[in-house]
Amino acid sequence: MKQLKAEFFAQGQYLDSTNDTAGDCWICKKRIDYDVKPGTSDNSHELDHYYPVSLYPDLQEDPANFRHAHRKCNRERGNGQPKSDIGQLVPEWW
């Protein structure tokens, strides 16, 4: 898994260097800080699993289940589904 994470980070780093948005955080759609090591700051890269490992342990090492994410976004998401736009959570009458 460690190896897979390193490869995935390198892939995201490459995508970012070519201005490919596929290397951005899949949760908040913003750029990830690929200049720092993974998991060292809120904006650093973390490998997120689209299907949480706690629910789908079989998919832990399946690259098709990998998503680039900020450490912060990944932590906030936990095992839930990604939060939709904040605006949608606020009632229209607000």
Q: Point out which residues bind Zn ion (CB under 5 A).
A: 25, 27-28, 70, 73
Q: Both tokens of residue 79?
A: 């095992």
- Which one, 78 or 91, has the nearer CB to Zn ion? 78
Distance of CA 83 to the CA centre of its chain: 13
CA–CA separation, 73 vs 17, rounded Å? Answer: 21
Nearer to Zn ion, 5 or 67 (CB): 67
**Closest separation between CB of residue 73 and Zn ion, Å?**
3
**How far apart, in whole angstroms, are the C-alpha atoms of residue 93 and residue 76?**
27
Q: Which residue is nearest to Zn ion (CB)?
A: 25
In the complex with Zn ion, which residue's Cβ is closer, 25 or 47?
A: 25
